[in-house]
């Protein structure tokens, strides 16, 4: 079979490009309508005062000034930062620990399975279950009282920052299993040759993990950490299920604050400003983190 002449290929190129653009057009139009136009409209609303009725009133930077000066809005930013740090330490750390401890042992998959089951539960359901455990005179308080252990008088969901910490633990209970699954896949993909060579050189335990396993897990770790950062910045369902941002507004995150300002308070302008801030923070965090990881990979 002979290849078509070059003149025929050049003659057909405009027709092929037209066909390609025709096939891509619906996806491009859908992306613009569903993603970019709402974002531009939200950006416009963030500079207005709007309650959902009538025409938006242009107020300039007032919503952004309120966002950075109001104590409750600052509190939601602090809580979101706690979620980012806590999510990196607990779900990612626990997932890695579970994967390493169950890797290479007989029936390791079955040891990871109980940690994976909570991931099938919705965030709201996780919040409801943990709120039963942590409410005043709930299961945890009764257990500590029965065992005469300290902490029985703690107000788990009422005092800040304890309420945010307990919700992060609840999120870790739900998310550690899927991280363990991802790290488990990464551990299984590590070639046996370098591991055997390191073992012959006397490496084992912590040294094996520090100098052989961990560097080979770095690409997967970048994915897991990146997903965790993005997920923690969008935290909403567990907080809504456990405290609804209370008491008062002590445990609100930026995402929950945005929802309340928009749909409860009818302050669409401030809600839009919070949405823009959250989008910018998420994009910056993702870009900075991925650039650092890619630059490290190039150095290796």
Q: Which domains does the chain have, with CATH numbers?
A: 58-298 (1.10.3720.10)
pLDDT, tens only, 239-274: 999 999 989 899 999 999 999 999 999 999 999 999
pLDDT of residue 74: 92
Please spell the DSSP secondary structure of 240-293, one letter per residue.
HHHTTT-STTTT--HHHHHHIIIIIS--HHHHHHHHHHHHHHHHHHHHHHHHHH
Paired strand residues for 48 = 58
pLDDT of residue 41: 93
Q: Round to the nearest angstrom and report the end-to-end CA distance of the chain.
A: 45
Provide CB contacts within 8 A for 75, sequence distance 6+. Answer: 249, 250, 252
Tokens at residue 31, please? Answer: 């992306």
Q: Which helix (H) or strand (E) holds 57?
A: strand 57-58
With a cut of 80, say whether residue 61 has pLDDT above it: yes
Q: How sure is the predictor about 4, in pLDDT bands with cuts at 50, 70 and 90? A: low
Q: How sure is the predictor about 297, in pLDDT bands with cuts at 50, 70 and 90? A: low
Round to whole Å and give the CA distance between 184 and 98. 9
Q: How sure is the predictor about 6, in pLDDT bands with cuts at 50, 70 and 90? A: low
* Residues 26-40 as b or e (16 or more Cβ within 10 Å = b): eeeeeeeeeeeeeee
Residue 236: strand, helix, or coil: coil
Q: How sure is the predictor about 277, in pLDDT bands with cuts at 50, 70 and 90? A: very high
Round to whole Å and give the CA distance between 156 and 164. 9
pLDDT of residue 151: 83
- Given a contact cutoff of 8 angstroms between Cβ atoms, the answer to whether 232 and 83 are in contact is yes
pLDDT, tens only, 158-211: 999 999 999 999 999 988 888 988 898 888 888 888 888 888 887 778 888 888
Q: How sure is the predictor about 62, in pLDDT bands with cuts at 50, 70 and 90? A: very high
Q: What percent of the chain has pLDDT over 90?
A: 36
- Given a contact cutoff of 8 angstroms between Cβ atoms, the answer to whether 257 and 67 are in contact is no
Arithmetic mean of pLDDT over the chain: 86
With a cut of 90, say whether residue 19 has pLDDT above it: no
Please spell the DSSP secondary structure of 128-158, one letter per residue.
HHHHHHHSTT-HHHHHHHHTT-TTTT--TTT
Closest CA to 239 of 159, 137, 164, 133: 164
Paired strand residues for 58 = 48
The conformation of residue 5, written as its DSSP 8-state character, comes to: P
pLDDT of residue 3: 58
CA triple 271-272-276, angle to 5 deg: 120
Q: How sure is the predictor about 7, in pLDDT bands with cuts at 50, 70 and 90? A: low
Q: How sure is the predictor about 212, in pLDDT bands with cuts at 50, 70 and 90? A: confident
Average pLDDT over residues 8-37: 80
pLDDT of residue 40: 93
């Amino acid at each position: 079979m002979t290849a078509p002449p070059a003149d025929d290929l050049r003659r057909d190129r405009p027709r092929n490009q037209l066909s390609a653009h025709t096939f891509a057009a619906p996806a491009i139009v859908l992306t613009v309508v569903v993603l970019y136009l709402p974002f531009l409209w939200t950006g416009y609303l963030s500079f207005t005062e709007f309650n959902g009725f009538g025409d938006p009133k242009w107020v300039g930077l007032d919503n952004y000034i309120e966002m950075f000066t109001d104590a409750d809005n600052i509190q939601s930013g602090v809580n979101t930062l706690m979620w980012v740090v806590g999510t990196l330490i607990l779900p990612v750390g626990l997932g890695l620990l579970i994967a390493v401890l169950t890797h290479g042992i007989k029936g390791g998959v079955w040891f990871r399975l109980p940690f994976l089951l909570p991931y099938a539960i919705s965030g709201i359901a996780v919040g409801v279950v943990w709120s039963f455990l942590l409410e005043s005179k709930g299961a945890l308080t009764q257990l500590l009282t029965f065992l005469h252990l300290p902490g029985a008088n703690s107000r788990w969901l009422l005092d800040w920052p304890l309420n945010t910490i307990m919700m992060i633990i609840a999120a870790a209970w739900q998310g550690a299993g899927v991280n363990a699954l991802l790290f488990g896949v990464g551990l299984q993909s590590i070639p046996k040759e370098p591991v055997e060579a390191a073992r012959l050189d006397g490496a084992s335990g912590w040294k094996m993990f520090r100098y052989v396993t961990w560097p080979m897990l770095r690409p997967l770790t970048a994915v897991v950490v990146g997903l965790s950062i993005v997920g923690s910045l969008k935290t909403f369902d567990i907080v809504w299920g456990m405290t609804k941002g209370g008491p008062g507004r002590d445990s609100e995150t930026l995402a929950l604050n945005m929802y309340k300002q928009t749909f409860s308070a009818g302050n669409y302008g401030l809600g839009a400003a919070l949405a823009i801030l959250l989008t910018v923070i998420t994009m910056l965090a993702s870009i900075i983190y991925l650039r650092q990881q890619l630059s490290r990979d190039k150095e290796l």
